[in-house]
């Protein structure tokens, strides 16, 4: 009796269905195996256990003055975009501007982007599981921390330069991170330095004069090759201190410390 005999079709159909189910089971099993293997290669911060991350993103928020509702939303949009577009395994650290008299700034959050699973193959990974991990262990907690930071209470001093120096030494200066080509610093601030040693509330916006001061010698950071973005918070009541000359001061500042060309984006509100 030949295989083309209709009486043999149920047998071949059964074999075919069994092979399909076996392939599907192997695919799902391999998918979970790959996901489990990927998880085992990450530490508690979701960062690779071996080697340096491919990129580094540091976000610093100045809470010396409260943000308006519009400013909070505008900043949140920009920071969410930066985080979502960061390459897989990018190390992300969040800081608030603060005093470093006794210790360097400590991160509010320090985590790596494990990858959302978008664009990955169903056969060689588990996109659903990857997206759940990305949302629950990475983006969700990070977004909550950012929201807390943007609602921070006002303080009298604003040691912006000292805080930049702190992350320059404590983060960008670490040997294992210094070698990373893709390093970014985003600063959310009105950029009005205000300390006992130097205050821009006095209206002195000459970087040339400041560059020759002992104070600059003390707080000068090393940011060689770091991309800097300033999300510039405009203060209507301080418009006589902010503006073109003030922005130029900070462009000259970051150029002098060998940062890459600085992007200054005025924040709405």
pLDDT in tens, 204-243: 778 999 999 999 999 999 999 999 999 999 999 999 999 9
Closest CA to 54 of 24, 92, 20, 81: 92
**pLDDT at residue 34 above 80?**
no
265: β partners = 231
Whole-Å CA distances, 19 to 65, 79, 215, 226: 66, 48, 75, 54
Residue 154: pLDDT above 80? Answer: no
Q: Which range (32-41, 192-201, 260-269) has the least confidence?
A: 32-41
As a whole number of angstroms, the distance between CA 221 and CA 229 comes to 16
Per-residue confidence at 125, pLDDT binned at 50, 70, 90?
A: low
61, 164 contact by CB (below 8 A):
no
Residue identified by tokens 């943000």 is 67
Instruction: State the DSSP code for 195.
Output: -
Mean pLDDT for the stretch of residues 82-98: 95
Q: Specify the pLDDT at position 35.
A: 44
pLDDT in tens, 156-203: 899 999 999 999 999 999 998 999 999 999 999 999 999 999 999 987
What number of other Cβ atoms are within 10 A of residue 200's Cβ?
22
Task: Pick 55-267's CATH classification: 3.30.70, 1.10.10, 3.30.420, 3.40.50.
Answer: 3.40.50
The whole-angstrom separation of Cα 35 and Cα 135 is: 15
Least Cα distance to 110 among 183, 164, 57, 163 occurs for: 57
Query: What confidence score (pLDDT) does residue 221 get?
Result: 97
Whether 100 has a pLDDT exceeding 80, the answer reads yes
Separation CA 78–CA 186 (nearest Å): 10
Average pLDDT over residues 129-157: 88
Q: What is the CA radius of gyration of the chain?
A: 26
pLDDT, residue 8, reads: 54
pLDDT computed for residue 217 by the predictor: 96
Q: Using DSSP, state whether 154 is helix, strand or coil.
A: coil
Looking at residue 7, what is its pLDDT?
A: 57
For residue 111, count other CB atoms closer than 10 A to its CB.
22
- Residue 24's pLDDT is what? 46
**Given this model, what pLDDT does residue 30 score?**
43
Segment 44-67, tens digit of pLDDT: 999 988 888 999 999 999 988 889
What beta strand segments (E) does 99-165 contain? Answer: 109-112
Q: Domain map of the chain by residue range?
A: 6-40, 55-267
Task: State CA 49 to chain mean position distance.
Answer: 19
Cβ count near 96 (within 10 Å): 20
Residue-level pLDDT at 4: 55
Collapse the DSSP code of 220 into the 3-class scheme (helix H, G, I; strand E, B; otherwise coil) and give the result. Answer: coil
Task: Give Cα separations from 60 to 97, 116, 217 (angstroms).
Answer: 7, 24, 22
pLDDT at 112: 95
What does the alpha-carbon distance between residue 177 and residue 54 come to, in Å, rounded to a whole number? Answer: 9
């Amino acid at each position: 009796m030949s295989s083309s005999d209709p009486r043999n079709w149920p047998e071949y159909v059964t074999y075919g269905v069994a092979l399909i189910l076996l392939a599907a089971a192997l695919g799902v099993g391999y998918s979970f195996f790959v996901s489990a293997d990927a998880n085992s290669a990450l530490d508690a911060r979701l960062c690779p256990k071996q080697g340096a991350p491919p990129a580094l993103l540091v976000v610093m928020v100045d809470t010396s003055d409260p943000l308006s509702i519009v400013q909070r939303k505008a900043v949140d949009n920009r920071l969410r975009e930066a985080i979502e577009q960061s390459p897989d395994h990018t190390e992300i650290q969040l800081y608030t501007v603060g005093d470093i008299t006794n210790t360097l700034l400590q991160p509010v959050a320090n985590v790596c982007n494990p990858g959302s699973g978008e664009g990955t193959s169903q056969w060689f990974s588990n996109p659903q599981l990857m997206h759940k991990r990305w949302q629950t262990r990475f983006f969700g907690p990070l977004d909550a921390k950012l929201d807390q930071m943007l609602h921070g209470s006002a303080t009298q001093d604003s040691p912006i330069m000292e805080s930049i120096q702190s992350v320059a030494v404590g983060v960008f200066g670490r040997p294992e991170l210094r070698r990373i080509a893709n390093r970014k610093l985003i600063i959310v601030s009105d950029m009005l330095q205000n300390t006992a040693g130097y205050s821009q509330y006095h209206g002195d916006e000459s970087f040339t004069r400041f560059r020759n001061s002992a104070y600059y010698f003390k707080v000068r950071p090393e940011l060689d090759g770091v991309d800097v973005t300033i999300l510039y918070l405009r203060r209507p009541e301080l418009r006589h201190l902010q503006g073109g000359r003030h922005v130029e001061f900070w462009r000259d500042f970051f150029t002098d410390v060998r940062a890459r060309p600085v992007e200054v984006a005025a924040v709405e509100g």
